Amino acid sequence: MSTACSILIPAHNEVGYIEPCLEALLASEWIGAAVEVIVMANGCTDRTVAVAHSFEGRFSDKGWPLMVLDLEKGGKMGALNAGDNIAQHGARVYVDADVVVSAPLLAQLVAVLDAPEPRYASGNPVVRASGSAFTRVYARFWASLPFCTHGVPGFGVFAVNSAARTRWGEFPDIISDDTFVRLSFRPEERYRVAASYDWPMIEGAGPLIRVRRRQDIGVAEVKERFPAIWANHDPVPEDAPPMWRRALRDPLGFGAFAMVALAVRMPHRAQDRWARGR
């Protein structure tokens, strides 16, 4: 295996989240090639920058140089572009700052990316909800949807090799970067490795509704602005249980899921398109 990679982590006010994210990267298994880590702190008003800097020595000891960008302007797309502009390696692994990767994930991703043809890859997402009871039942049902259980959803973590990264130039000014990148590849170009990563579900009904509304807007935005890639959606898997069967198996989870879905469609005051649940 010889694929060197750059790990890019956009971060906005992530104290309390970026620490376990970076700890997990430090615990990652040996990849067998050069690795660099870039934290793109953008518009932070907390100690995200200082916390990220505090990990530099330990990453140096691992042989993975860590660079921390302190970007005055907030915004995930600008942060991703800033990281891409200085990344040294063609293969890129994009990791949200609140994600915790399992030890074998990076090595498995890099192994899949070690190919001349364009490849997109991600792992098995484990949706975590540790706060409100509502979020726990919602997350349980959401994780059973075919989007999560089949294909390569890529939310929170996605990776591309050098050939794949030529599919787009700079990240466009959109909400849903993961949807845009995933649909830039045909289903047969997308690979799901066995290793997992933890992805936190937003806590509380109100924040869930705001974030779900933002996600829906982001997906619609990709469909409207980039119709050529829309056909790259995964087909509905034949073995996926229908919604009614999943509802019977988990009526509480379905109730929470349906409530959020209905609330998203109700009239509401305009919200910041970058609204976050925390």
Q: Residue 85 sits in which domain range?
A: 5-265
Domain contains 273: no
Domain contains 270: no
pLDDT, one tens digit per residue, over 63-99 is 999 999 999 998 999 999 999 999 999 999 999 999 9
The model's confidence at residue 269, banded by pLDDT at 50, 70 and 90, is low
- By the 8 A CB rule, do 91 and 3 touch? yes
Q: 15-19, 112-116, 138-142, 147-151: lowest mean pLDDT where?
A: 147-151
Domain contains 272: no
Rounded Cα gap, residues 20 and 55, in angstroms: 11
Per-residue pLDDT, 248: 94
pLDDT, one tens digit per residue, over 208-224 is 999 999 999 999 999 99
pLDDT, one tens digit per residue, over 177-203 is 999 999 999 999 999 999 999 999 988
- By the 8 A CB rule, do 246 and 180 touch? no
For the segment 52-65, the average pLDDT, to the nearest whole number, is: 98
Domain contains 275: no
Domain of 105, CATH number, reads 3.90.550.10
Counting other chains too, the contacts that 249-253 makes at CB distance below 8 Å and 24 or more residues apart are 249/144, 250/137, 250/140, 250/141, 250/144, 252/137, 253/137, 253/138, 253/140, 253/141, 253/142, 253/144
- By the 8 A CB rule, do 178 and 221 touch? no
Which residue is listed with tokens 């398109």?
273
Domain contains 274: no
Average pLDDT, the chain: 93
Tell whether pTM > 0.85.
Answer: yes
Domain contains 95: yes
Residue 210 Ramachandran class (φ > 0 left, ψ -120 to 50 alpha, else beta): alpha
Q: 12-26, 37-51, 132-146, 183-197: lowest mean pLDDT where?
A: 132-146
Total count of domains within the chain: 1
